[in-house]
Structure 1
C-alpha cells in the first residue's frame, strides 16, 4: 500500500537551526538509518558501522552512534549492514526520450536509486517553446526528485533555414526561464557549436545571459577532440559536454577545465571507450560524470537508469566508490549544488539509497528522497498529488492534409537508368551516421528502390502547422526484409513527422495514423499495425510507466519481425533528423551535411548521373 508523499526540500538556511538542535540531541530525528556501510563519496571510503540521523528533508548527523538523536517518534530503518550511498544523479537527461511524463519518470527511476537529475527539456521546448519547459518544471516540482531544469539553448538546434521547429527560443527567453527559480540550473546543451566558435550573436548572448545569472552552460561539441576549435568553445564558459565517444574526447575536455560526461543511453553506448581515459591513461576522475542522455522506457524497465550505468562502469574496471562518485558528488559539484545533494554529509538533503550484496552489483533495495522512504524492493512506497498537463500539450500535430503514396516519390534528375545519390547510413549503438554514395535505379523519372540492397526511404513532414515543408531521402542499414513503414513524431530535435519505409502505400498509412492520434509511433506491415500513442507534445504518454514501456517494446518487436534487428532501433531512428550530429541527416528542409566546415544543406543526387 502506498502512502501520500508530503515533503519540503527546505533550504539549508531555513532549516539549519533544527539540524543543529537535532545533531546535539535536543531535537529528535524524524528518521534514523542505522547500521550501514557508508559509501563516503567525499573521502572515497567505505565506513562500516555508521548511522544517519535525518531531520525533515536534510541530514542532521552522521556517525557511529546516533542514539542521542532518537526517541519513540523517530522512524528507524535498520539497514542490517547494507551499503548506504547518496541518491544517484543523472547529469544529462532528456526526460521526453523516455516517452514518460515527469511524474511517471519519477515513479520509474526512484526505485532504481535515482533521486535527482539535471534535465534538458529541449524536446518539448522545440514543440511548445517556453510553455512546454514551464509545464515540465512545474510537474517536476510536484515529485520527490531533486529535479533541476535547463533552459534550452538551441530552439531550433541550428538555424530556421536548416529545419522548422514549433517555437523559437533566444537570449530573452533564456533569461526569462533562468529567472523562474534556483531549480532552473543553467543552459542546456549548446548544439550549435559552430555558432559559438564563430561568434553567432544569438548563441553568444544566450551564454552571456546564463553566466550573468550565475548559472551553468552545457555543451555539445562533435568536432574531433584535437580540433583547434575546442579551446575556443571552452573559452565561452561552456563547462560540461556529453558528446564524448573516445578516451581522447574525455582527456581533452578535462584538460581544458570542462566536465566530461560519459554516456550510456539506450542506443548510444559510449562508456566502455570513454572510461579508458581513467582506466588506461590514469586521468583524474573528479571531472568525469556518468549520464544517460536518452533512455527509453523499455530500457528503464529492462535494464535500469543511472544504476545500470554505474554498474556498467564498474564492469569496465572502475573502482565501485569511484563509479559512485561519477554519478553523485562529481555531478553535484559540476552544477554547484554539492551543499544540497551528492553526498551523505550533515546538512545535505536526505537522499539516500540502501544497496544489498556487493557494492559493484548496485542492487538498490530502498530509496529515501528528501528524508522519506519512497521506494523499497523495486516498488514505490509513496504517491503524490497528480499534475494536470495543459490541454494545449495534447494538440501539437498539425499536418493539415492526408498523406498519399505520391508524397513518397523521389524525383530523379534523369528519366531512366542509374544515378548516384547520397544515402544516410545508420550505425548501430552510435549517434553519428555515415554519408554513403549509392547507385540507385531510375524509372519514369522516379527512383525505384525495389530489390535494392538494404536501402529504403525516409521522409520528413513539417508538423507544427507553419509552412507545410517536406523532404525525402535515402536510408541505409535499417534491414527491413518485408514491406514495412514506421512513422514517428519523436524526431530530434524539431520533432517533425518522420516516416521510414520501403513501401509508399504503407508509408502514407503510417504517417496518417501518427497524425490522427496526435503524435506517437506507428509501425505498419501488410498484415500488422502497431500503435504507440504519444499525445503529450507528440513526445510523451500520460499512461503509467509499465504501460508505456510495454508499448515501446511492442514497436521494437514489430520492427524485429520486419527484419530490423538493430539494438534500440526506434531511438536510433529518432535521431536521423538531428542536424547537429555528423555526418548527414534529413530535416524538413532537405539533406543536411555536418562536417568540420559547418552545417549545410546538400543535394540528394550528384551533379552528374550515370546512365546505363
Structure 2
C-alpha cells in the first residue's frame, strides 16, 4: 500500500511533513519520502492522501475490556462464565479498533479471559487492536476490584502470584497499591498492598523485563508504588509535589484516567452505585489541581482512560485528550501521550510513530491534530498492520 501526498505529523517534534508518501510493505512502514514521481512496485494499492494528515494509531494504556461501560458493569459480568466474558471482551476490542485506537493495555480481567482474546487477535481469528494484558490484577484479600483479581497477602504470596502471572505470559503486572472508588467499603486514600509487597512484585517482574503498573489514588499508596519502582502510576488522584518529584526523578509515567472520575462524579441517580459516585466526587475535585501540578512539574504522561469502567464507553478516549489539554497540556504533548510516549511506557518501540521499520498502524485525519484535538470525528481511514480497517 502507498499513501500518496499526505501531510505526515512527526509526533516526536511536531513537524508537519507535506507531500509525504508512505509505502507500507508486509505490515510495516517501508519508505517515507516526498518525491512527486515516486515509483512503487507493480500492483501496489494507492491511497490518495491529499488534504489528509497521517498520525500513528492511538494507544490507550488503561482499559478493562471485560466490562461494558454501563452504569454498573461489574454487576453485569458477575453472572457470566469465562466463555461469555471472552466473547464480550472480543466485541469491545473490535469496537475499540474501529475508533482508531490500535493498541490497548488491559489492566484487569478475571482468570484467563484476557489471554484467550489476545491469542485470538494474534491469530487473526477476530479483529482487534494490539492487545496487551495484565490478566488478573494482584490485590490484598478483599482489596480493590478483587472480583477481577488474584488476592495475595504478604511478601511471599505476592511474589508467588507475580511469578505465576509471568509464567502465564502477561505483558504487564498490575498491582493495587490503594483503595478505589468502585469497590464498596474501602476508601481510595487508604493504602492496600504495602511497600514490601509492592517491591517484591516489582523485583519479580523486572527480572523478566516486564513492566509494572500500580493502581494508586491516595498519596500513601502513590508514594509506596513509586518507592517500589513501578513503571506506570495509574490514576494518581491525590499525588502531591513530593510524588511528582519522584516521578520526574525516576522517569515514572502517569496514566491519569481523568474522565472516568468526571463521568462517575456526575452520575447522581443514574444507576451507578452511590458509594462510587460519592467517592468519585471527592477524588475528582482533588485530581484536577494535582494533575495540573504534575504537568507543570514535567511528569511524563500517557493516555489511559479506564475505558469500559462505569459510564465510560471507549468513545471517552477523545474526551480524555481534550480534557488533558484543558488541564494544561499542549496539543502536541497530548498527541505524544497518545502515541510515542505511550509506546515508550509500554516498552513497544515498534509502535507510536510513523517511521521506516515501525508497524504500519496509522490514521488519516481530515484536520491537523496539532490545531484540532477533536480527533474522533475527523478520522477518514484506520490502518492496522498495513490493512485498512472497515468501520
What TM-score results when the alignment is normalised by the length of structure 2?
0.72
1:158 aligned residue: 140
- Secondary structure of the structure 2 residue equivalent to 1:81: coil
Give the deviation of 1:42 after TM superposition.
1.7
Matched, 1:367 2:349: no
- Secondary structure of the structure 1 residue equivalent to 2:237: coil
- Secondary structure of the structure 1 residue equivalent to 2:360: coil
Aligned residue among 100, 108, 119 for 2:106: 119
> Which structure is richer in relative contact order (CA contacts within 8 A, separation 6 or more)?
2
C-alpha spacing 1:189/1:331, structure 2 compared with 1 (3 Å): farther
Is the Cα–Cα contact under 8 Å of residues 292 and 306 in structure 1 kept in the other structure? yes
Matches within 5 A, 1:416-427: none
C-alpha spacing 1:33/1:253, structure 2 compared with 1 (3 Å): farther
Higher helix share: 2
Give the deviation of 1:268 after TM superposition.
3.8
1:212 aligned residue: 207
CA distance in 1, matches of 2:36, 2:166: 40
**Structure 1, residues 197-233: CA drift from partner, whole Å, max 9, x if none?**
4424xx5443332111111111122332xx5x75543
1:134 aligned residue: 115
C-alpha spacing 1:82/1:255, structure 2 compared with 1 (3 Å): same
2:44 aligned residue: 74
Higher alpha-carbon deviation: 205-214 or 137-146: 137-146
**Structure 1, residues 467-502: CA drift from partner, whole Å, max 9, x if none?**
xxxxxxxxxxxxxxxxxxxxxxxxxxxxxxxxxxxx
CA distance in 2, matches of 1:48, 1:136: 39
CA distance in 2, matches of 1:308, 1:161: 30
Matched, 1:308 2:290: no
1:190 aligned residue: 176
1:284 aligned residue: 298
- Secondary structure of the structure 1 residue equivalent to 2:95: helix
- Secondary structure of the structure 1 residue equivalent to 2:171: strand
Give the deviation of 1:267 after TM superposition.
4.4
Higher strand share: 1
1:90 aligned residue: 60
What is the root-mean-square deviation in Å for CA atoms of aligned residues?
3.2
Give the deviation of 1:240 after TM superposition.
1.1
CA distance in 2, matches of 1:292, 1:153: 17
1:244 aligned residue: 236
Matched, 1:341 2:325: no
Matched, 1:145 2:129: yes
Matched, 1:108 2:95: yes
Matches within 5 A, 1:369-408: 369-375=384-390, 380=391
- Secondary structure of the structure 2 residue equivalent to 1:357: coil
Aligned residue among 352, 356, 362 for 1:352: 362
- Secondary structure of the structure 2 residue equivalent to 1:242: strand
Give the deviation of 1:137 after TM superposition.
3.0
**Structure 1, residues 521-580: CA drift from partner, whole Å, max 9, x if none?**
xxxxxxxxxxxxxxxxxxxxxxxxxxxxxxxxxxxxxxxxxxxxxxxxxxxxxxxxxxxx
Between structure 1 and structure 2, the one with the greater Rg is 1
Give the deviation of 1:192 after TM superposition.
5.4
Give the deviation of 1:370 after TM superposition.
0.7
Is the Cα–Cα contact under 8 Å of residues 144 and 369 in structure 1 kept in the other structure? no
Give the deviation of 1:340 after TM superposition.
0.8
Give the deviation of 1:177 after TM superposition.
3.3
- Secondary structure of the structure 1 residue equivalent to 2:256: strand
C-alpha spacing 1:272/1:106, structure 2 compared with 1 (3 Å): same
Structure 2 alignment gaps of length 5 or more = 70-86, 152-157, 180-190, 264-283
Is the Cα–Cα contact under 8 Å of residues 220 and 243 in structure 1 kept in the other structure? yes
